[in-house]
Amino acid sequence: MTGFDEMVTAAVEKVIPSVVNISEVKLMKDAYLHVHPVPGVGSGFIINEDGFILTNAHVVLGSQDIKVALEDGRIFPGEIRGLDTIKDLAVIKIKASGLPVPEIAKNNDLKIGQMAIAIGSPLGLVGGPTVTAGVVSAVNRSIQTEATFMEGLIQTDAAINPGNSGGPLINSRGEVIGVNSAVIPFAQGIGFAIPIQPAVEIADQLIKH
């Protein structure tokens, strides 16, 4: 491997143990107002060794049955501890301790063009997390999603797909810089992440309240 390859690999290896797969079931109404259980998948990452997990609110909102799969293969039921639908963030709690926690970037002084690596479980594929790499394409972006208006986002061309939502966006040092959150349908190479510092602050508030 080249020095660049080794750098990327080392960064990913630092974070992957803390990345989780989230599977859930939501009750949805069809055109005839019949209610049906609909399975879904998403990603998240551990932010506290005692079982607190950060993800997107849209991943778990309205969920009836949440299962969290750790990188080591263990599966736990998940409990929603708090939701912020405006910022699209949620905290899930599982009954586990001594869990691996990734390093959080100390600041959000991001530079356009710096490396950005997205980790998650796109489409709920089996076999562990998927890694995609790109760059920070822009900062302080604002977008309108189906559920809310989001601002201050990181834009990246690292592939973010259905199921990747809630997973970490990391830098070349293996530090989390954002929470993968949104992708624009039909637009290639455009994904968005919530900067990690405000995300962690919101998560702390959700845990306390």
Q: Give CA 99 to chain center in angstroms.
A: 17
User: In whole angstroms, how far apart are CA 29 and each of 34, 61, 93?
Assistant: 5, 15, 28
83 burial via Cβ count (<10 Å: 0-12, 13-18, 19+): middle
Do the Cβ atoms of 23 and 38 come closer than 8 Å? no
Q: What's the token pair of residue 69? A: 């799969």
Residue 3: helix, strand or coil by DSSP? helix
DSSP class of 12: H
H/E element, 200: helix 196-208
Q: What's the token pair of residue 128? A: 């562990």
Query: Catalytic amino acids?
Result: 58, 88, 165
165 burial via Cβ count (<10 Å: 0-12, 13-18, 19+): buried
Q: Cα separation of 172 and 12, whole Å? A: 8
